[in-house]
């Protein structure tokens, strides 16, 4: 993901852990490179009260940039614990949440970010905190065959980003992810609906497909949902409902393959003559009004 440039710009440590390395008999940034394998071990021995807060913080950022997450976590925690009332501690809290997110420790990251949000609602990085929390939910979205509670939570958290920070870059990305989340939920409904239809549980199938049409109108699943409804109505002998549903499909998705399938079924059942359009139920394009006339 794109890291917030202002908050997560990786800054070089002021002394490259000079205090730690001096205690080990070495010093300097070049020498530090030779100690990469022992860096975390050395950092664990540090006395945070003997190191300036900005150095602790920058060392944490450096460790994060090197993907040494254990060391980064340690440094950010030292900042918070040793200098709890400093501005560095506030930033360290967000960085801690980001470090946890990078390790896929979503529950820990959410807890850290929610603590930040509650304690610092007017902080300059509050929008990023809301966005990062939403990402933690979003990346837990499961396959459509599984429970979609995480998808609902992700959409809710993303919508909060949009509502609170509508003009931010975070809101723009959140809107895209909301659409993807809703498409995912619609896909789940379609999967269940197709299963019901295959079991000849027509009422249950209609309920699922109609939900897609009613609640997920902006997703790519609506044409198929309308086709499936047309199909079921024909199976049940509900010829008028089938024609009206196919008309909605034709008006809104005239070149769609699902409309062609529905149209062919109407022709085969003698409801329309081949080459003739499905009689309109309403004016073309009035999607919601036409649906209301059917359902």
Residue 241 and residue 128 share a domain? no
The pLDDT score that the predictor gives to residue 275 is: 66
The pLDDT score that the predictor gives to residue 51 is: 74
From CA 80, how far away is CA 268, in angstroms rounded? 72
Inside any domain, residue 147: no
Residue 10 and residue 133 share a domain? yes
Inside any domain, residue 15: yes
Inside any domain, residue 89: yes
Phi-psi map region of 141: left, alpha, beta (phi>0 left; psi -120 to 50 alpha):
beta
Inside any domain, residue 170: no
Inside any domain, residue 179: no
From CA 208, how far away is CA 228, in angstroms rounded? 10
Inside any domain, residue 190: no
Torsion angle of the four alpha carbons 115, 61, 132, 87, in this order, in degrees rounded to the nearest 10? 40
Question: In the listed set 114, 140, 166, which residue is the last one of a domain according to the structure?
Answer: 140
Inside any domain, residue 114: yes
From CA 203, how far away is CA 211, in angstroms rounded? 12
Question: In the listed set 117, 140, 163, which residue is the last one of a domain according to the structure?
Answer: 140
- Alpha helical stretches, state H, 216-256: 222-236, 239-252
Nearest to 158 by CA among 144, 179, 184, 186: 179
Provide the number of structural domains found in the chain: 2
Residue 233 and residue 122 share a domain? no
What is the CATH classification number for the domain harbouring 32? 1.25.40.10
Going residue by residue through the chain, which has 295 residues, state the pLDDT in tens, using 9 for 90 and above.
Answer: 333 443 444 333 333 333 333 333 333 344 334 334 445 554 556 666 677 888 889 989 999 999 999 989 988 998 988 888 889 999 999 999 999 999 999 999 999 999 999 999 999 999 999 999 999 999 998 777 677 888 999 999 999 999 999 999 999 999 999 999 999 999 999 999 999 999 999 999 999 999 999 999 999 999 999 999 999 999 999 999 999 999 999 889 988 899 999 988 988 888 877 766 666 544 444 344 444 554 4
145-177 b/e with 16+ CB inside 10 Å = b? eeebebbebbbebbbebbeebeebebbebbeeb
From CA 4, how far away is CA 194, in angstroms rounded? 42
Residue 225 and residue 135 share a domain? no
Inside any domain, residue 164: no
Question: In the listed set 110, 140, 170, which residue is the last one of a domain according to the structure?
Answer: 140
Residue 134 and residue 15 share a domain? yes
Its pTM stands at 0.73
Residue 245 and residue 123 share a domain? no
* pLDDT tens, position by position, 171-223: 999 999 999 999 999 999 999 999 999 999 999 999 999 999 999 999 999 99
By residue range, what is the domain housing residue 265?
A: 221-294
């Amino acid at each position: 993901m794109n890291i917030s440039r202002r908050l997560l710009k990786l800054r070089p440590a002021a002394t490259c852990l000079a205090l730690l390395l001096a205690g080990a008999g070495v010093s300097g940034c070049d020498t530090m490179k030779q100690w990469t394998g022992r860096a975390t071990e050395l950092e664990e021995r540090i006395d945070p009260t003997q190191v300036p807060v900005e150095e602790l913080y920058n060392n944490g950022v450096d460790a994060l940039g090197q993907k040494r997450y254990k060391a980064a976590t340690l440094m950010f925690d030292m900042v918070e614990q040793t200098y709890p009332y400093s501005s560095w501690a506030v930033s360290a809290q967000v960085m801690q949440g980001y470090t946890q997110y990078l390790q896929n420790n979503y529950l820990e990251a959410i807890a850290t970010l929610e603590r930040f949000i509650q304690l610092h609602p007017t902080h300059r990085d509050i929008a990023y905190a809301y966005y990062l929390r939403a990402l933690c939910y979003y990346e837990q979205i499961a396959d459509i065959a599984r429970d979609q509670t995480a998808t609902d939570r992700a959409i809710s958290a993303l919508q909060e980003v949009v509502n609170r920070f509508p003009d931010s870059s975070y809101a723009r990305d959140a809107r895209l992810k909301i659409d993807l989340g809703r498409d995912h939920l619609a896909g789940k409904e379609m999967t269940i609906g197709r299963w019901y239809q295959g079991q000849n549980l027509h009422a249950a199938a209609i309920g699922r497909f109609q939900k897609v049409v009613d609640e997920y109108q902006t997703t790519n699943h609506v044409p198929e949902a309308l086709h499936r409804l047309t199909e079921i109505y024909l199976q049940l002998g509900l010829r008028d409902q089938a024609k009206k549903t196919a008309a909605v499909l034709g008006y809104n998705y005239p070149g769609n393959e699902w409309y062609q399938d529905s149209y062919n079924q109407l022709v085969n059942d003698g409801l329309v003559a081949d080459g003739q359009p499905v009689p309109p139920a309403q004016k073309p394009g009035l999607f919601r009004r036409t649906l209301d006339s059917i359902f």
